[in-house]
Chains A and B, each alone.
Chain A
């Protein structure tokens, strides 16, 4: 089975901290994605990557950056965490650009205090 693993289920960080959310997939997928999910807003795309060291902005990249040094790992970085970044963060991977199904991690619920 495809497995997408996010490093933490729950995370509490302080305002201004630099936060790293890690995501690892074990199926050699080329594409990886970071979404955030908020009540009433659904899933919104933050960043995605189609290849190692490659990244593209999604709909809401402000305040975030990403890193993909290895194919299996895609990290989301909150440069200076703010309370409005309190959210559920979902990582996903897929074989190609949306033509096939995406596999999701279990999510990281981040609270910034």
Chain B
């Protein structure tokens, strides 16, 4: 079934640096969402971008969506140690069915 694929699988940066992770998907979508998961916990919703939007901001988060390339990026600016987590993109698919998740990007921010 359709699944987003995040890239890179793992990312290590220093505090204060920006972190960029990408997501590619296979079929047309209604929206794309990004979630964060702290180690061993449930997922927390970060941001949703609809298919007719190109960019969205929320605090230190910036998400872009390019439907022609079937890709999205999540930028976290001025990273903090507390941003250390796994990040997942999720898409709803053509029929608006259940959210389908990618495999995630593991971000490590060191102080």
Contact = CB atoms under 8 A, between A and B. Distances in A.
Interface stretch (B60-68, B69-77, B88-96): B88-96
Contact of A97 (B1, B44, B88, B92): B92
A94 B35 CA distance: 14
A102 B45 contact: yes
Interface stretch (A13-21, A40-48, A66-74, A75-83): A40-48
Contact of B101 (A31, A40, A43): A43
Contact of A98 (B41, B43, B98, B102): B98
A25 to B, nearest CB: 12
Interface in A54-113: 56, 58-59, 88, 90, 92, 94, 96-107, 109
A48 B48 contact: no
B72 to A, nearest CB: 15
Given A40-B103, A90-B42, A109-B40, A48 B98 contact: yes
Nearest to B48: A101
B99 interface: yes
Interface residues of A, number: 31
A88 B48 CA distance: 25
A98 B101 contact: no
Contact of B44 (A41, A59, A104): A104
Contacts of B88: 42-43
Contacts of B20: none
Contacts of B42: 4, 90, 104-107
Contact of A107 (B3, B31, B41, B93): B41
B107 to A, nearest CB: 15
B104 A97 contact: no
Interface of A: 4, 31, 33, 35, 40-45, 48, 56, 58-59, 88, 90, 92, 94, 96-107, 109
Interface of B: 1, 3, 30-31, 33, 35, 40-45, 48, 88, 90-93, 95-104
